[in-house]
Structure 1
Amino acid sequence: MSIFASPRFLPRVMAADALSCTATGALQLGLTDMLARLTGLPTALLTGTGVFLLAYAALAAWMARRPVPPRRLIGLVVVGNLAWAAGGVALLASGLVAHTALGAAWVLAQSLVVIVLADLQWMGLRATRPARGGMAVA
């Protein structure tokens, strides 16, 4: 059995997603003004995404605690994580914000983390997809 097929793999990845979003959201809300100065990112963007991250973290934590992982919802999370990463890169490339080097690093670090999480979530979904008889494929 691969690590990705373990019954605890998807819940653990969702818990990691929840923790990373909690930390990032709390930082963005707790240190909004300082982060805005250091990163060049607008306070409204930091606040709005901070609130979103905390709300999403609660949902991800709920998914992590389910006895059976909600596969369709986790599939949507994969798409959302990839969209978050693409949106961050697009924001930096657009020139709409006068970000600093630290601002680019902040956004790119978030993009990298969510790409890794999306990949892990997708591998977990693929490794545990039900076979035709309803049994999981190892």
Structure 2
Amino acid sequence: MNASTDRLLRRTLWGNAVFSVVSGAVLAAFAGPFARIAAHGPVALMGLDLAIVFELLGIGVIAFGALCAWVASRETMPQAWARVIFAGDIAWVVGSVLVLALPATWTMAGFIGIVVVALIVADFVILEYLGLRRLGAAS
């Protein structure tokens, strides 16, 4: 695989890494305020307060961003891990749709926040798909 073949996927993964680490850190750091503005009244998911869920989610997103950075930084990109990231991003978009269908009463801010992040991740999905397809054609 040469530099021109994997450039799209590599740059997409770097963008995903930056977005994930920054947004995960912000979500973890401000989990309480985000939970208060995202839903009307207290919300619990699997018995956990929404603020704790947001904090744990933020930490997980940071770890995901670190994985994206690791994959993007390898001299020879591990395509299997790039596919794992691609699948994870698809799962995020699907999960976002499912979360919006939960019986929780999301505020407009909560609804918009979930939709905006899902749309950004969907953009990464499209670019990752194109990058992976380009790598497949080059093999």
Q: Same fold (TM over 0.5)?
A: yes
Contact 1:36–1:43 (CA under 8 A) maintained in structure 2: yes
> What amino acid maps onto 1:91 in structure 2?
V
> What amino acid maps onto 2:11 in structure 1?
R
Distance 1:58 1:92 in 2: 27
Distance 2:35 2:121 in 1: 22
Report the Cα offset of residue 10 of structure 1: 1.3
> Aligned to 2:113, which of 84, 106, 119?
106
Structure 1 residue runs of 4+, over 6 Å off? Answer: none
> What amino acid maps onto 2:124 in structure 1?
L
Cα deviation per residue 1:48-83 (whole Å; 9 max; x = unaligned)? 110100111111111111112211111121111111
Report the Cα offset of residue 110 of structure 1: 1.4
Is 2:46 the partner of 1:38? no
Contact 2:6–2:134 (CA under 8 A) maintained in structure 1: no
Counterpart of 1:49 in structure 2 is 57
Is 2:81 the partner of 1:82? no
Counterpart of 1:133 in structure 2 is none
**If the length of structure 2 is used for normalisation, what is the TM-score?**
0.84
Report the Cα offset of residue 119 of structure 1: 1.0
Contact 1:77–1:118 (CA under 8 A) maintained in structure 2: no
Is 2:38 the partner of 1:64? no
- What 5-or-longer segments of structure 2 have no aligned partner? 44-49
Cα RMSD (Å)? 1.5
SS of residue paired to 1:49? helix
Cα deviation per residue 1:77-133 (whole Å; 9 max; x = unaligned)? 1111111111111011122x2221111111111111111101101100111215xxx
Distance 2:6 2:87 in 1: 22
- What 5-or-longer segments of structure 1 have no aligned partner? 131-135
Q: Indicate the percent of aligned positions where both proteins have the same amino acid.
A: 26
